[in-house]
Amino acid sequence: KLDLIEALAKGNSKGAKENPKVMEELINGDVIHAFSLVIPSDKVIEIEGAQVAPMNVANQNSIDERGEIIEKDRLTHNQSWKGSASGLSINSRVIESELQDCMFGHCFLRLCHQIVDIRRRHPHTCIFIQKIDWKSAYCCAHYNWRTAIKSITTAVTSAIAYIALRLTFGGKACPNEWSVISETTTDLANDLLRCDEWDPEEIQAPIQKHIPEISRLSDTIPFAPGLPLVVQLPNDDQGKADCYLDDIISIIPEIGDNIKRGAAAVPLAIHLIGRPIAESEPILRDELISMKKLIAEGGLEEIQTVLGWVLNTRELMVLLPVDKFLAYSKQRNEYLKAVTYTY
């Protein structure tokens, strides 16, 4: 209770206090979608077991439907904040041994292995990448009430408090909990890719019509040879999906009817995991797949930005995206001009 009283008095982090309008807009979106429950902050103390964490506004990059980089703000919950009375945080109380292991950490390496292995066995076959993003992924997973009351934040005015009803950005258990959903969905997509009875033209997700056409490189660009790997992969010529939290990335070789199946498997798997959106939803609901990103990068392409890197499956190259190249070059030049700088 002393930790709770201290947290209520402390309020939010610097980023939230300096951007009250942005924070209000973001939290209002959570409330409208029923991802947060509003209560008077003076009632929080009456909730047995309640805990409050400072809220912050983090700035990050995203893309629009044209694939152009845009800035995006996101609410974060500092659940690693420690109360002076106990010296403990919400995250320090997480029982890690009861969490399912996350498998996304080596996703990028697995994708590279998959691409090189296919190229090694099929030297002159096009290999395509599809990337599908969940829409507001953590918001799709709702907390048990016992966890929700450990995930309370306050408004800038501190007169209002919000109980997070969905996974928070900052909760230690959240990547593990979300991975249970995303990895299961990825497994389902891989089962579809190997299901001979599935006809992707007959059974597909409603949003399939929004997926862009296939994008090929010029025939004048040669195929780079795939060198032997130090790991042994099963011969997988039907394509395979892998996931990194809210991104599901498929590697699809142009063999047989793989292209049609590869373009439809992940969207259908995500559609099956969720439920159709009714014409008159009582609470505002979005598609489970991010439509902006689907239109921008949901098509099968030989060059695709994946987890912050550009993958070129034709020439077997990993490249820095232009925006990162410019940012890193600028930073490097600033360091070279400086007299001193910190470690």
CB 129 within 8 A of CB 302: yes
Tens digits of pLDDT across the chain (343 residues): 999 999 999 888 888 888 888 888 888 989 999 999 999 999 999 999 999 999 888 876 555 545 455 566 778 899 999 999 999 999 999 999 999 988 888 999 999 999 999 999 999 999 999 999 999 889 989 999 999 999 999 887 668 999 999 999 999 999 999 999 999 999 999 999 999 999 999 999 999 999 999 999 999 999 999 999 999 998 889 999 999 999 999 999 999 999 999 999 999 999 999 888 888 989 988 889 998 889 988 999 999 999 999 999 999 999 999 888 888 899 999 999 998 888 8
Which residues have C-beta within 8 Å of that of residue 261, sequence separation ≥ 6?
A: 192, 193, 198, 200, 238, 239, 252
Which residues have C-beta within 8 Å of that of residue 73, sequence separation ≥ 6?
A: 19, 22, 26, 57, 58, 59, 60
In this structure, the number of other CB atoms found within 10 A of the CB of residue 112 comes to: 18
pTM given for the model:
0.88
Containing 58, the helix (H) or strand (E) segment is strand 55-63
**Nearest C-alpha neighbor of 284 from the set 12, 8, 30:** 30
Containing 25, the helix (H) or strand (E) segment is helix 20-32
Can you tell me the distance from the alpha carbon of 161 to that of 48, in angstroms, rounded to the nearest whole number?
15
In sign, the C-alpha dihedral spanning 317, 320, 323, 325 is: negative
**Nearest C-alpha neighbor of 139 from the set 95, 188, 181, 92:** 181
Amino acid at 285: R
**Nearest C-alpha neighbor of 178 from the set 131, 98, 246, 110:** 246
